[in-house]
Amino acid sequence: MKITKQTPSLMIIKDKNIMSFLFAGIFALIGFLIILSPDFLNADPPQILGVPFFFIGLLLIFSTTMYSITINKGINKLSIVWRKLIGYRKDDYDLNQINQLELYISHDSEQLLFILKDGEEIALPSKGVTRVMGMKVSNIRKIGKSIAEFLNIKFIKTRPKSLVESLSIVQETIREKRSRKDRGENTYED
């Protein structure tokens, strides 16, 4: 994910997924070379395994998605385009409907979400978190901050509730139900 163009009224963010194409191409090439070997059917270990390598590589090439996010203040539009080798999908949203940008942080990934005024969430395509020797390497936070500043909206960070927080909520609910029962109130929700 990278901001490729930014002017006062336009921001373009792209991810071409070059590493996925490279990995899939190498996978398919290895399979193809194994298939072309002279002792294809008689070799030990069996070289028929080159066929799945080749087809899995092709499948990965055709399923890899590239995307482009365009924020255009001039025409008041957010466009998200997902492209594959065959076909594409485009979603457009009105910038006036965006309330805030949220960075959802879980244990092993980070996701940017536009929160609309009606509560709808628009997930921006992202790869999550890359780890190198156990350390997080991600520019999603930086890009999220740039988008929020560009649109002049709130940028908040959220995370799932911890086990202690979840247990606390359950305990509070049980206490509330017991106190209602002790007071003789109806404890069933309609």
d(CA 102, CA 154): 8
Query: CB-based burial of residue 132 (10 Å sphere; 0-12 exposed, 13-18 middle, 19+ buried)?
Result: exposed
| pLDDT for residue 41 | 57
| pLDDT for residue 185 | 66
Q: Tell me the HSE value of 176 on the side-chain side, using a 13 A CA sphere.
A: 9
Those residues of the chain that have pLDDT short of 50 are 190
Element (H, E) at 5: strand 2-6
| pLDDT for residue 46 | 65
| pLDDT for residue 21 | 79
For residues 41 and 48, the answer to whether their CB atoms sit within 8 Å is: yes
| pLDDT for residue 45 | 65
| pLDDT for residue 175 | 83
| pLDDT for residue 129 | 54
* Tokens at 134, concatenated: 């156990």
| pLDDT for residue 161 | 67
